[in-house]
Amino acid sequence: MELAGSRALVTGATGGIGATIARRLHGCGATVLLSGRQSEALERLAAELGERAEVLVADLADRAEVAALPGRAGRVDVLVANAALPASGHLLDFEPGQIDRALDINLRAPIMLARDLAPAMVERGHGHVVLISSLAGKSSSAGSSLYSASKFGLRGFAQGLHEDLRDAGVGVTTIFPGFVRDAGMFHDSGAKLPRFVGMATVDAVADAVVKGVERGKLEIDVAPLGLRLGTAIAGLAPAATLALQRRLGSHEMSAAIARGQVDKR
């Protein structure tokens, strides 16, 4: 579908990836509805974009606010469900409330927003739902059990929703970024990757969102070839892949990432 003239709701627009996605959609001619918890950051982004930018402050961990957001947004042609918590670390280190919060933001909120916004898209005969997952939604590793659970869930939801809506003219795309070097959860953690692990850019994620909407792509990986191949192999031979990851220091790396993200649970 064409982005010019559309209205696009972007959740998690206060973060580096969400803000970059919003800028890219705005540059394509869309009116962007900027959603997140931090009103000042959203207002700054809206002021930067100028016309065709609206602010919708919402906490997606609050189920009442999730339910109210579609009505506040008005007409939405494109939903970009980008907001997420890192939820990294050993499962036994999480309190039940932290698990609920991660699943509410990472999985339940995108499902509910798609559920509430899709009927009007179907009625108009066009629209698109974009879900920002992760390569961790195709292959898990140490310290990512909860995060991967939410991102694997998005993939399954998207595939089924795609089939439910395809004849109505409504598209569904899932984006699978790997490690992003210049913004996002991994960048904010301060952890360092081994030299052999390649990284993507935030601009590449935004490009994938536009490509998914305009070309109707079901799934798009955003990562260097090595990571994409590794993820594909992990899907075929998970036990062997996990064993190799252990030898390459996956537990130590995941512990470093979790330490840098513990305040976001």
In a domain, 144, yes or no: yes
pLDDT band per the 50, 70, 90 thresholds, residue 264: low
* CATH number assigned to the domain comprising residue 20: 3.40.50.720
pLDDT band per the 50, 70, 90 thresholds, residue 206: very high
Per-residue confidence (pLDDT) for residue 12, from 0 to 100: 97
Catalytically annotated residue among 13, 78, 104, 147: 147
Per-residue confidence (pLDDT) for residue 190, from 0 to 100: 58
Q: Which of 57-66, 146-155, 195-204 has the lowest mean pLDDT?
A: 195-204
Per-residue confidence (pLDDT) for residue 236, from 0 to 100: 87
> Model confidence over 189-202: pLDDT tens digits?
555 666 666 678 99
In a domain, 184, yes or no: yes
Return d(Cα 263, Cα 145) in angstroms, integer. Answer: 18
Residue 162, pLDDT > 80, answer yes
In a domain, 29, yes or no: yes
Q: What would the mean pLDDT of 141-159 be, rounded to a whole number?
A: 95
Q: How many domains does the chain have?
A: 1
User: What length does the chain have?
Assistant: 265
Contact assessment for residue 252 and residue 246, using Cβ atoms and an 8 Å cutoff = no
CB atoms within 10 A of CB 240: 11
Contact assessment for residue 13 and residue 19, using Cβ atoms and an 8 Å cutoff = yes
Model pTM?
0.90
Q: Which of 93-107, 129-143, 180-194, 234-248 has the lowest mean pLDDT?
A: 180-194
Enter the tokens of residue 130.
């974009």
- Reference 3, options 220, 210, 240; nearest CA is 210
Q: Dihedral sign, CA of 237, 243, 247, 252?
A: positive
Per-residue confidence (pLDDT) for residue 254, from 0 to 100: 72
Residue 81, pLDDT > 70, answer yes
Q: Determine the structural domain holding residue 111 and report its residue range.
A: 7-264
Return d(Cα 55, Cα 45) in angstroms, integer. Answer: 9
In a domain, 117, yes or no: yes
In a domain, 1, yes or no: no
In a domain, 113, yes or no: yes
Q: What would the mean pLDDT of 103-130 be, rounded to a whole number?
A: 98
> Model confidence over 22-58: pLDDT tens digits?
999 999 999 999 999 999 999 999 999 999 999 999 9
What percent of the chain clears pLDDT 90, i.e. is strictly above it?
A: 71
Per-residue confidence (pLDDT) for residue 83, from 0 to 100: 97
Of 77 and 229, the one with more pLDDT = 77
In a domain, 195, yes or no: yes
For residue 147, indicate whether it is catalytic: yes
In a domain, 120, yes or no: yes
